[in-house]
Amino acid sequence: MGKPIVAIVGRPNVGKSTLFNKLAGRRISIVQDTPGVTRDRVYAEAEWLSYKFTMIDTGGIEPESEDVIVKQMRRQAQMAIETADVIVFIVDGKEGLTAADGEVAQMLRKSKKPVVLVVNKIDSLKDEPNAFEFYNLGIGEPITISATQGLALGDMLDRVVEHFKELGTEDEEDEYVRIAMVGKPNVGKSSLINKLLGEERVIVSDVPGTTRDSIDSYVETKEGKFILVDTAGLRRKSKVKEEIERYSVIRTYAAIERADVVILMLDAQEGVTDQDEKIIGFAHEMNKAIMVIVNKWDLVEKDDKTMIKYQKDIQANLNFLSYAPYLFISALTGQRVHKVLEIAKGCYDNYSKRISTGILNDVINKAVLMKEPPVVGLKRLKIYYATQVANKPPKFIFFVNDSNALHFSYGRYLENQLRESFDFKGTGIEIEYRERKE
């Protein structure tokens, strides 16, 4: 499983984005005084007391009238309940308790998910009593903060990470490999999953955007046990009219965060779009295992060189994904569909791989003998030793004399040596250079 996900939910203008930016340590969401300004999906990595987690600012409410706010908030809360491990419900200490707050609190209570109730805009001690009425929401003791001034955020985060301990691990699901299918609407994700499941479990239709949410399906084959997650298709920004779209983007990011393997599905007739690049770029940054499937291959006129040429074209667009395997299929006719899980499992095995320190250092020493590091400034990089500190994704620490002496091209050379020696096809890997005095 990925890092815990924390969603921030609340009415417009209660300070969700301000809080989010404070926690993320940089301005990510647009903060203005117009209710409903938070447009873009907002995702950030945060850390507190050595717990790393992912935050979502659900935002995005267009308040035309009170009932629209309530409706949108319900949807927001629903999304948070489905995708988040812990929910931060933020209310306005200046304005006091509203009917919309009550409605959302009711949903959150029913969800049985851990909720941290946060009363914002308590800028001084004299405002503290404003928090009392929020006990009426029945979701526990409110914690008072001032997001703009950064007051009491530590107490709030203590409460949030407290819940991480209760989450535990999902043992039954641990033996399953989680695969997230991502790609534009109507590219055939649902059809492929139905083929793999051998039954019509996911609604398939020719209307782009039928799959609104991420849907999980369990399947066992000779390759192993898998959870297939069909994510909502992502449209281009200009078409993101409905709030629902915003939530489907958030859900797709959450599905990637939780996945072991991410499959980017492309339409053979359309190739790679900006949106494809963006979403798979996110998976690449998270160092997930990744494979690329080109669907509707039956509709392409081809000779013996078409596939190679086609793959080169896609790779030129996705040049950061040089490690990902490609598969050309037709979900409709079933062509090569039997290979999907076999290749995905190969990517997962590499994603989970562990290399012993002895063998790792032999390979690194050989690599340095074959090609010594260039002098950067006045220094030459010296690598004392390397060790693997984690898997899923594989993470290595190289202890060196001076990390500033690392030329990026040499860093790439070392990564390629690791990939060639240990076959990390289909997975991102992470290398950290740490200084250690001799």
Q: pLDDT digits over 60-103, tens only?
A: 444 455 666 667 777 777 777 778 899 999 999 999 999 889 98
Q: Which domain holds residue 411?
A: 357-435
Is 61 labelled as part of a ligand binding site?
A: yes
Same domain, 126 and 228: no
Whether 415 shows a pLDDT value over 80: the answer reads yes
Helices 243-258 and 274-285: angle between axes, nearest 10 degrees: 40
Question: Residue 215: its pLDDT value, please?
Answer: 65
Same domain, 153 and 10: yes
Q: What's the CATH number where 409 sits? A: 3.30.300.20
Is 274 labelled as part of a ligand binding site?
A: no
Same domain, 224 and 250: yes
Same domain, 404 and 330: no
Whether 31 shows a pLDDT value over 70: the answer reads no
Is 143 labelled as part of a ligand binding site?
A: no
Same domain, 346 and 248: yes
Tokens of 310: 């086609």
What is the band of 34 on the pLDDT scale with cuts at 50, 70, 90?
A: very low
Same domain, 346 and 365: no
Same domain, 330 and 369: no
Question: Residue 69: its pLDDT value, please?
Answer: 67
Is 17 labelled as part of a ligand binding site?
A: yes
**Total count of domains within the chain:** 3
Is 325 labelled as part of a ligand binding site?
A: no
Is 67 labelled as part of a ligand binding site?
A: no
Using one digit for the tens of pLDDT, what is the confidence trace for 351-390? 999 999 999 999 999 999 999 999 998 999 999 999 999 9
With b for 16 or more beta-carbon neighbours within 10 A and e for fewer, the 398-412 pattern comes to: bbbbeeebbeeebbe
Is 101 labelled as part of a ligand binding site?
A: no
Whether 323 shows a pLDDT value over 90: the answer reads yes
Is 111 labelled as part of a ligand binding site?
A: no
Q: Which of 306, 326, 351 is the last residue of a domain?
A: 351
Question: Residue 314: its pLDDT value, please?
Answer: 92
Q: Write the DSSP string, 302-354.
A: --TTHHHHHHHHHHHHTGGGTT--EEE-BTTTTBTGGGHHHHHHHHHHHHT--
Is 185 labelled as part of a ligand binding site?
A: yes
| % of the chain exceeding 90 in pLDDT | 52
Is 208 labelled as part of a ligand binding site?
A: no
Same domain, 419 and 298: no
Is 235 labelled as part of a ligand binding site?
A: no
Same domain, 334 and 192: yes
Using one digit for the tens of pLDDT, what is the confidence trace for 294-322? 999 999 888 888 899 999 999 999 999 99
Other CB atoms closer than 10 Å to residue 266's CB: what's the count?
26
Question: Residue 199: its pLDDT value, please?
Answer: 61
Other CB atoms closer than 10 Å to residue 110's CB: what's the count?
9
Task: Quote the CA–CA distance of 67 and 83 in Å, as a whole number.
Answer: 24
Tell me which residue has tokens 């001032």. Answer: 146
Question: Residue 322: its pLDDT value, please?
Answer: 92
Same domain, 243 and 261: yes
Is 121 labelled as part of a ligand binding site?
A: yes
Is 203 labelled as part of a ligand binding site?
A: no
Is 182 labelled as part of a ligand binding site?
A: no
Residue 267 and residue 187 in contact, taking contact as beta carbons nearer than 8 Å: yes
Same domain, 161 and 186: no
Q: What's the CATH number where 147 sits? A: 3.40.50.300
Task: Quote the CA–CA distance of 53 and 50 in Å, as a whole number.
Answer: 10
SS3 state at 27? coil
Is 334 labelled as part of a ligand binding site?
A: no
Q: Which of 140, 167, 194 is the last residue of a domain?
A: 167
Is 11 labelled as part of a ligand binding site?
A: yes
Is 184 labelled as part of a ligand binding site?
A: yes
pTM exceeds cut of 0.75: no
Is 297 labelled as part of a ligand binding site?
A: yes
Q: Which of 101-105, 166-170, 216-220, 410-414 has the lowest mean pLDDT?
A: 166-170
Question: Residue 20: its pLDDT value, please?
Answer: 84
Q: Is 36 left (phi over 0), alpha (psi -120 to 50) or beta?
A: left
Is 255 labelled as part of a ligand binding site?
A: no
Query: How many CA atoms within 13 Å lie on the side-chain side of 147?
Result: 24
Task: Quote the CA–CA distance of 286 and 5 in Å, as a whole number.
Answer: 14
Q: Which of 316, 351, 386 is the last residue of a domain?
A: 351
* Distances from the Cα of 430 to the Cα of 300, 366, 387, 390, 396, angstroms: 37, 20, 12, 9, 6
Same domain, 254 and 398: no
